[in-house]
Amino acid sequence: MISLSHLRKFKEQGRKISCLTCYDASMAKAMELAEIDSILIGDSLGMTIQGHDSTLPVTVADMAYHTSAVRRANQHSFIMTDLPFMSYATLNDALSNARTVMQAGAQMVKMEGGEWLSEIVQVLTRNGIPVCIHLGLTPQSVHVFGGYKLQAKTREAADQLIADCKAVVEAGAALLLLECVPAQLGKEIAELFPNVPVIGIGAGVETDGQVLVVQDMLGLTFGKVARFVRNFMKEQAGETAIMDAFKAYHVAVQDQSFPAPEHSFQVEL
């Protein structure tokens, strides 16, 4: 089973980390066989599984249910679970809800935010709960952003995001996830923290790993497709096409053929 120490070692070795979202046992088993490094039980299930138009309606009980299903089927991948909207608004909420998803099978919890999360990160870490902080485009704050848009497009905004990263890492964050930021910024942040893996989604090829929503990379997105998505399914054929798509993604992340320039945002900061 891949652990947090493995992910740190991968970064030290320059070996890229593959990560996909997953919500059920059958997909989890296919990802195990494809040797995907990490699985994120994301609150994206609100849209991909439950049919909502955002992640906001997802509950902690939902996250625990899907985490336990994935964990039972996959004993290889490192498993992270989102703490959903408003489930970590207070320190007590964060402790209680993190305990719930960890007991369901998570190895790490993920929260969206910046410096303001530092105290929560510190307390969770002290209590044996590894934390990933999601920065850049954070879907739980979509109404604040006014939609799903590229973040940190100016040097000032990039420096503020870096300051947030520094604050949560100093508090004990063990992993960072950057969404929808310029490729240059993804590279800067990955280089800034030698002991903290940085996973990107729409953050360029030079982060320490990549994550995609599994439905997106299998071509099951109906409507507008985000710039940073690549359909790995259409490159496969036959009875094992889904597993082959997972394997192709894992290889493409490691050999850095994904994300290509067309999947990244090039902004001069």
- The catalytic residue positions are 179
Strand (E) or helix (H) holding 37: none
DSSP 53: S
CB atoms within 10 A of CB 239: 7
3-state SS class at 17: strand
Tell me the two tokens of residue 268.
């001069």
Distance CA(17)–CA(53), nearest Å, equals 29
> What's the distance, CA 211 to chain centroid?
6
Q: Give me the phi and psi of 129, to 5 degrees please.
A: -115, 105
125 closest CA partner among 135, 136, 133, 113: 133
